[in-house]
Structures are given as structure tokens and as C-alpha cells.
Structure 1
Amino acid sequence: MQKVIGVWIISLTGILVLAAYFNVFEAPRNVLEGITAIHWVALSAILYFSLPKGMWSICFIFMTVLGVFHIGLVFANALNGITDEDTLYQISRWFYNAETDNAIHIVNLAMIGFALGAILFSRQSQMALDHQTQQAGYQKRLFHIGGLALTFFISLFFLLTIITGAINSYGAYLEVMSNSPLYSFIFSYLYFFIGISLVLLCVAYQPGYGYWYFGLFALWALIAFKVGLRGEVMFPSAVAACMLGRKGAPIKGYILVVAVIGFLVLTGIVKNARVSGDYSGDVGVNPLNAVAEMGSSLRAVQETVKWRKHENFELLMGGSYWAPFERQFALFIPQLERIHVDDDGRLLNIVVQKKAGPIGFSAIAEAYINFGEKGVILVFLGVAMLMAKLDSSASTVRNDIYIGVGLLPMFVTVRNSFIHVPVQMILGMFIATLVMYLAYKKDKTAYVSPRLVN
């Protein structure tokens, strides 16, 4: 019954959004922002009450992250809650353009598609007994492998940031990344490996294993956050929440609300100090400022609208999704041309860098520039269908590890392009398989048959 009600409400809100998009009724900016804010809250509430695992489902967590990074700015502005002068100045150059109106509509379409897919395809998760956990020490061995790997990669992060001076400030970090493509590549994979290690910890954890490794991650997150690396901390943390949610709600709802508010306040403090370079002054504690800044990923959608409207940029028709596969195949197939990265218009991380600077990118913008408005709905309907299937799959150690390493690059695409997803998924699955094989093999060698003892 909840699903039926949810589908009806999503359909009605979808009709309202589409009517505004096609100018069936007049929707000036303030009305559009109000509709969008209500729309996001309504869809989130529907998923919260309709999905079997509620707020701890993969679908709900992904919807929340997607919404914060694309609707956060609209939401905060609709409430007149932006008080940070720097944020107001930054958005004044693009947020009030006509193309942004179209971008807001496109984001609403993505939300409708995702919410419908999550509702329609979600099922109660299957119950399964993971026989591997019956092997002595297997799960604890996985936990410590993940913890030791996390320790190694975090140590490497500190070593490199101290040597290069990137740890001093976000500006210093960006300078190191822009001046050295090698460092940029190394750091991008450091974050990926930190994420994989965290997945292993969360999946393998059992009461009594201790919290030292989680404390190490928290320490790294605090320092990385202070430097200004918010997405690098937030995305693996969101995936970790998905993994813990598959084992049951790890914390009470009210504790999570307090933690989220504290996180938003900390984000605002980090942002202001990052701009001023000084944490001793008036850093501000308005959480809506943090929501607004994270929501600036909407600009990537606005940029793609501009490309189509003013530059006759043709739809890629799936080209950016196929490009990473083709470019890898070209390394082994001589007949297949491998276009230089600067000339390949399908590499949207490069295209947006050239056209708008280092603003990141967006999964919604990528769907739009490939398939247009209708494609946005269909792409996110498909993404939700996939995540709903993951939500309903049996929670076993092996299954959860594979799901976690697969989700890491998908969450990163919320504000980045698709280009790195296939390689990171394949690499993540390989690493996960190798780690599980080694842990299981080691456990089998330590097992002695009772009959031999007798």
C-alpha cells in the first residue's frame, strides 16, 4: 500500500514539475525554487517510509547525496538561508541565468526518475547465511586486512601531502594537483583505495573487533576536511553508511540528525576558513551555507544547458559512457584509434575544464548531454533500478564487499564524470576478489579436521 501511495505522489509531483517545465503555468524563479525544494523533501520522505530499509537503504542514501549536491543551493536559496558573502558572490555569476532555470528542471526530472525506480523495483532483502563466516577467523582476518590497508594508504596520503606542501591549505593542494598530473593521478587512486579499505572494515566488522581503524579514518577525515577535501571524505563515508545499513541500522535516527547538522556546520567553517586562510576569525555556523556550497554542482548541469543552447553542442548519444571502454580497447586493438584526451569531446571532465574551469562535473549533467531531458529520466530510472536490486540482494560478506567497491565510483560520479567508473570498478572487483581469496585460503590452512586430532 505504501508503494502504491508513493508512486501516485511521485507521479503527481512529476506532473507538476513537467507542467512548469513546459510552461503550462508561469513559474518564476522564486516559485520554481519553492517547488523544487518541496519536491526534494517530498520524494525523500516517500522513499524513507516506502523503502524496506528506510533511511539506511542504498537508494535513500544515494538520493540524499545526489540531492544535496544538485538541489542544496536551490533549497537554501528558497529559504533565504544563504548568509555567506563569498557564496553569494560566486553564485551571482551564474545562478540567476535563464539556463539555470532549465538546469533546475532537469534536476527535478532526474529526481522523479530515480524515485520512481527506487519505489517500483525495491523488494524486501533476501535472507542468506554466509557460510564463509563459519570458517574460523575469516571475517576477522578480512577486518584486519582492511584496517592495515587503510593505515598504509592514509600514511601514504600524509607522507605525500607533507612532502609536497599540499597539506597546508586547499589552495596549496590545488596548486600541487594542477602542476603535477602524476600527483593528481596518485591522489585520485589513494582516495579510491582508502574507500575500498573502509568497505572491508564496515562489511567485516563484528562487535568486539575494536574501533581503532575507524578512529584512524576519522582522524584522516578531520584533517582532510580541514584541508578542504570534502567530497573525498563524504563519498566513501556515504558508501560506508550503505554497508553498515545492510547489516542493520548502526545508529539511532536522532543521533544521525545531530551528526548531519554538526557535519554541515563543520563544512561551513572549513569553507570559510579555506577562503580566508584563517580559522581564528568569524567562520560562521549556518548549516545552510554548507548545503548551498555543496549544491553548487548544479552549475555543471547549467553549463551543459549552455553548451546545447549557445554552442550547438550535439547530444553524445551515450558517447561519454562508451568512451572509457573504447579507449581501453584501443590499447590492445591496433585498428582502433585512441583519440588524444584533449581532442576527445566525449571526455566530459576535460571538456568542462576547458569551457568552465575546475568546477567538477555531474551525473545528471552527463545524462543530459548524452540523451537530453527524456534521457535524464530514463538513466536515473535505470540507476535506481540497479540500486534497488542491490538493496534487495542477500547480505553476505562476499556480496556486500562487491557491492561496496562497485558503489564507490558510482557515488563519486555525483559530482564527477563517468570516465573513471569502468576501470575503478574492474580494479575494485579484482582487489576485493584477491583479498577474499587470500583471507579464505589462509583460514583453510589453519583449519584442522577434528578427526585428525583424534
Structure 2
Amino acid sequence: MDRRTLTETAAVDDRGRAAGALVLTLVLVAAVVLVFPVPAGDIGALAGEFWLSWALCVALLSRRGWYRPSTTYLVLFGLFHGGLLVTVAVRGPAAFTAYDTSWLYEAYTPVAVRLAIVGMIAFTLCAHTRVAAARPAPRPAQYGPVCGTIGLGVELLGIAIFGVAAVKAGGVEGFLGGYTTFLRINESDGLLGYGTLCIGFGAVLAIVAGGWARTAAWVGFGGYAVVAFLIGTRGAVLFPLVAMLVVEARRGRAIRPLWTILGIPCLLAVIGLIRTARLGGGASSSLLAAPLDAIAEMGHSLRPTVVVLDWHAYGEPYRFGETLVVLPVRVLETLTGWHGGPPTVDTRMFNVEIFTRVGPIGGSPVAEGYHNLGFFGVVLGLGLIGLVLSRLERLPSTPLGDATVGVVLLPLLTGVRNSFAPIPVQVALGILLVILARAAIWLGERRRTREVAP
């Protein structure tokens, strides 16, 4: 064995030992978090506990790269579940008064933080499997026109749906009404969510196609993002953007570390400044404070877990998976008239139940997991998501393989702050688009074969 081989073997062994040490550390952190709880009201300690655990999880998964599905999911999970904690710990509760933050001092908040930490660690350990780096594969010439045409068509359909919703909310003048007004006017429009989904799905397919289609997809998404930010919606831009960047990285297009280091704070600063302008105050509008304002607003996804813990502390029974399968059950009830058909306001759907009983505070995989099966539901739910994303990373980096990663990842990212019920349907729609692209390519190949045949 030559010196170079010995050096490479030693490097692999060192990386394996480092990863093993991180895994052991995460297990110990989970044990400490469960055995030694932080008292209610100590926001600094809760923030430190959460972000230390998050940093260890990110350190383990980011060893395979920042723009992998599991790493990006974990980063967003941390922002949406721990953002408000760190902002209040750093700047104090008086610095962020646009929304009610009194729930942070409730007795169930430390329990919610512990559940989020344990779920995050379960996700990380399940996602941490040996995954070979996805190498870009040659793209046959026919992939470009087919995927590009389908992708841009779907993206334009999504932009059109979003544009109609914006016009209904008052157009440019209506932007002054903010995101709350936008949602109130379009609350009965079930297509709006699918419009955002189409924008992301279409952009992913166009990026896979490359060339002019990729450029057009980014231009179209940029225009949509500007309008969406002006209205005040952030997740509808952030989640598709992350999925698009993951696909770009899988196609071998290098995303320089400097772009990430500068891009994330700049994006958060823009979100924070727009938020301040839209609400007319309630937080500092300085460039230094704006990123913390944006993180704080995202960090309210911890609240649904606090609410659910309160429900079950008063004896409310667990749902045992009902919220996860309610959509197919509703379809069955509609087709058969079973039980008189689905109710108009169906509180079996987690997002509807939260909205009806508390208000528009969003959702969380931690809260929904606990609502169904308690502590075990949190560990099982986030662990399964980690396994799914780990499996995605093992897909070969072919054009359709990369498209599959993008269309599955986007609904899962959206689920970081929403309910689970629509995710299977959204994933199925994305996979259907990939199948349609593959079918169109196959038909084109058959046509060309017949044309050249004697």
C-alpha cells in the first residue's frame, strides 16, 4: 500500500471517528435535555440549550455538504423553532412587540423546547447514513427541451395563480394591507397554495433542463419573489428557493461558501426590513437588527407545540394518526357519503384545528407528532422525515433523479411550519410531473426512432 493510499485511509478513519464522536455527543445531549429540564421563564437558557443542540446536529449533517436535503431541512427547522428564543434572549422581550410573545414564559414552553430538541436529534441520527456524493450525470439532448417546456409552463401557471390572488387583494395598492389582508381576501381560494407549489415544481424542472430554461426560471422566480416579499409572505419564497438551490448543487453547479455566508444574512435583513415597513414599527429597522427580527418572526413555529401540550395536560386524548390520514378519509367520505360526508370545518385536519381553536399560528411537525402519539410521535415523525431525506440523497444525479429530489423536498420543507396532511398529495403531484416529463421524453424517442427507421 503506497503512501497516498495510507493517507486517504487515515483521513477516512479520522472523519469516521469525528462523526462517531458527534453521534455520541448528540445522544448525551438528548439524555441531558430530558433529565435536567430548564425552568420556565429562563429564555436565555432555553435558547442556549436549543441552539447548542442545533449546532451539533448541523455539524454532523453538513459534513456531507450544506446544500443537501437533510442539511437544508435541519437549518430551516432550527430557524422556525428556535428563532424567537434567540432574539428574545439577545435583545429582550421588549424589542419584538409586533406579535404576542407572552406564551414564551408559560410552563409548557420548556417542554416544547425539549421536544423540539429530541425530535431534531432523532431526525439527525436517522438522516446520518453513509451517502455517496451524487455526481452529475450526462444530460441527453432531449431532456432540455422537454423538462424546460414543462417546467416553465408549470411555473408560469403558478405565477398566474399567485397574480390573480394579488389582484384580488388590491394589486399594488393592496400591498399596503400586508400579508394578513392578502390571506383574509384569499382565504377561500384553495388554489393559492398550489400556485406557490407550481412555481417551485416548475422552477425545479427548468433548472434540471439547464440552458435558457434555467435562466428563465430564475428570472420568473425573482419577479415573483419581489412581489411576494412586498406582500409580506416569506415561506412561499424561502421554501422553493431552498429546493431550487439543492437541485442546482446536485447538478454540479458550485455555490460558493462566500455566497452562502453573505446571502443568508442579506436575505434575512431584507425580510426583517420589509416586515418592519409593513407593520409600521414594533422592531428596529436597522440592518443589524433586521435579521434578528426576521428570525424571530419565523421562530413562532414553536408556539403550536406549547398549545398542544396545554391541550393534553387537561386530559385531551391523542389523535393516534387521525390528522395524518384525514385527506384520504375526506375523499372517501365525499365519494361514498360515509358519515354524511366531510364536515365544512373539519377539525380533524391539524391546521384547521389550530386555526379554529387558537388562530393563524401555523403548524409544526413537533406539535402534530405530539398531538397524535405524544413523545413517541415526535421521535417517530421526525425520524421518518430524516430517513426519507437520507434516501433522497442516495438517488443518482440524473436529470429526472434531481427533479425527483426537488419535488419531494419542497413539500417537506413547507411542512416545517405547516400540517402534514397535504404533503403526500403535494409529493404525488410533483412525482406526477416528473413521470409526465419522462413519458414525453420516451414518446419523443419513439418518434425519432420511427423517423430514422427504413
Q: Same fold (TM over 0.5)?
A: yes
| 2:420 match: secondary structure | coil
| 1:90 match: secondary structure | coil
| Change in 2 beyond 3 A, CA 1:338/1:19 | farther
Q: Give the one of 377, 380, 403 matched to 1:378.
A: 380
Within the alignment, does 1:59 sit opposite 2:65 as a pair? Answer: no
Note the C-alpha offset of 1:77. Answer: 3.2
Identify the residue that residue 416 of structure 2 maps to in structure 1: 414
User: Which moves more between the two structures, 19-28 or 299-308?
Assistant: 19-28
Q: Deviations over 1:397-450 (max 9, x none)?
A: 222222322222211111111121122222232233224323442454356766
Question: For residue 68 of structure 2, what is the amino acid of its counterpart?
Answer: S
Q: Give the one of 117, 125, 131 matched to 1:123.
A: 131
Note the C-alpha offset of 1:235. Answer: 0.9
User: Which moves more between the two structures, 402-411 or 300-309?
Assistant: 402-411
2: distance between equivalents of 1:82 and 1:14? Answer: 31
Identify the residue that residue 42 of structure 1 maps to in structure 2: 56
| Change in 2 beyond 3 A, CA 1:8/1:367 | farther
2: distance between equivalents of 1:210 and 1:320? Answer: 38
Identify the residue that residue 193 of structure 2 maps to in structure 1: 188
Identify the residue that residue 150 of structure 1 maps to in structure 2: 155
Note the C-alpha offset of 1:323. Answer: 1.4
| 2:66 match: secondary structure | helix
Identify the residue that residue 321 of structure 2 maps to in structure 1: 318
Identity of paired residues, percent?
24
- Report if the CA contact (8 A) 1:125-1:394 is conserved: no
Note the C-alpha offset of 1:111. Answer: 1.0
| Change in 2 beyond 3 A, CA 1:82/1:195 | farther
Within the alignment, does 1:101 sit opposite 2:106 as a pair? Answer: no
2: distance between equivalents of 1:273 and 1:358? Answer: 21
Identify the residue that residue 174 of structure 1 maps to in structure 2: 180
| Change in 2 beyond 3 A, CA 1:340/1:388 | same
User: Which moves more between the two structures, 318-327 or 103-112?
Assistant: 318-327
1: distance between equivalents of 2:160 and 2:94? Answer: 35
User: Which moves more between the two structures, 94-103 or 163-172?
Assistant: 163-172
| Change in 2 beyond 3 A, CA 1:364/1:164 | same
Question: For residue 82 of structure 2, what is the amino acid of its counterpart?
Answer: I
| Change in 2 beyond 3 A, CA 1:369/1:434 | same
2: distance between equivalents of 1:195 and 1:429? Answer: 13
Identify the residue that residue 260 of structure 1 maps to in structure 2: 264
- Report if the CA contact (8 A) 1:47-1:115 is conserved: yes
1: distance between equivalents of 2:171 and 2:309? Answer: 34
1: distance between equivalents of 2:158 and 2:338? Answer: 39
Identify the residue that residue 140 of structure 1 maps to in structure 2: 145
- Report if the CA contact (8 A) 1:147-1:201 is conserved: yes
1: distance between equivalents of 2:379 and 2:83? Answer: 20
Identify the residue that residue 427 of structure 1 maps to in structure 2: 429
Note the C-alpha offset of 1:107. Answer: 0.7
- Report if the CA contact (8 A) 2:148-2:206 is conserved: yes
| 2:99 match: secondary structure | helix
Q: Give the one of 417, 441, 444 matched to 2:443.
A: 441
Q: Deviations over 1:239-287 (max 9, x none)?
A: 1122122223531011111011100100110110110199xx9733221
| Change in 2 beyond 3 A, CA 1:388/1:282 | closer
| 1:431 match: secondary structure | helix
Q: Deviations over 1:219-251 (max 9, x none)?
A: 210121111110111111111122122223531
Question: For residue 329 of structure 2, what is the amino acid of its counterpart?
Answer: E
2: distance between equivalents of 1:164 and 1:427? Answer: 27
| 1:331 match: secondary structure | helix
1: distance between equivalents of 2:178 and 2:82? Answer: 29
Question: For residue 113 of structure 1, what is the amino acid of its counterpart?
Answer: A
- Report if the CA contact (8 A) 1:19-1:25 is conserved: no
1: distance between equivalents of 2:176 and 2:382? Answer: 33
1: distance between equivalents of 2:225 and 2:449? Answer: 38
2: distance between equivalents of 1:192 and 1:216? Answer: 14
Identify the residue that residue 99 of structure 2 maps to in structure 1: 90
| Change in 2 beyond 3 A, CA 1:84/1:190 | farther
| Change in 2 beyond 3 A, CA 1:213/1:33 | closer
| Change in 2 beyond 3 A, CA 1:5/1:338 | farther
Q: Give the one of 399, 403, 412 matched to 2:401.
A: 399
User: Which moves more between the two structures, 240-249 or 258-267?
Assistant: 240-249
| Change in 2 beyond 3 A, CA 1:288/1:336 | same
With a CA cutoff of 8 Å and minimum separation of 6, indicate the structure with the bigger relative contact order.
1
**Under a length normalisation based on structure 1, what TM-score does the superposition of the two structures give?**
0.87
Question: For residue 422 of structure 2, what is the amino acid of its counterpart?
Answer: H
2: distance between equivalents of 1:156 and 1:318? Answer: 32
User: Which moves more between the two structures, 14-23 or 411-420?
Assistant: 14-23
- Report if the CA contact (8 A) 1:170-1:227 is conserved: yes
| Change in 2 beyond 3 A, CA 1:170/1:146 | farther
Equivalent pairs counted in the alignment come to 437
| Change in 2 beyond 3 A, CA 1:365/1:428 | same
2: distance between equivalents of 1:186 and 1:25? Answer: 43
2: distance between equivalents of 1:178 and 1:266? Answer: 24
Note the C-alpha offset of 1:24. Answer: 7.0
Identify the residue that residue 210 of structure 2 maps to in structure 1: 205
- Report if the CA contact (8 A) 1:272-1:284 is conserved: no
Q: Cα RMSD between the aligned structures?
A: 2.9
Within the alignment, does 1:18 sit opposite 2:37 as a pair? Answer: no
User: Which moves more between the two structures, 93-102 or 164-173?
Assistant: 164-173
Identify the residue that residue 75 of structure 1 maps to in structure 2: 86
1: distance between equivalents of 2:77 and 2:233? Answer: 18
User: Which moves more between the two structures, 213-222 or 269-278?
Assistant: 269-278
1: distance between equivalents of 2:392 and 2:412? Answer: 13
Q: Give the one of 355, 364, 367 matched to 1:365.
A: 367
Note the C-alpha offset of 1:14. Answer: 3.7
- Report if the CA contact (8 A) 1:316-1:370 is conserved: yes
User: Which moves more between the two structures, 365-374 or 159-168?
Assistant: 159-168
| 2:343 match: secondary structure | coil
Note the C-alpha offset of 1:211. Answer: 1.9
2: distance between equivalents of 1:82 and 1:144? Answer: 51
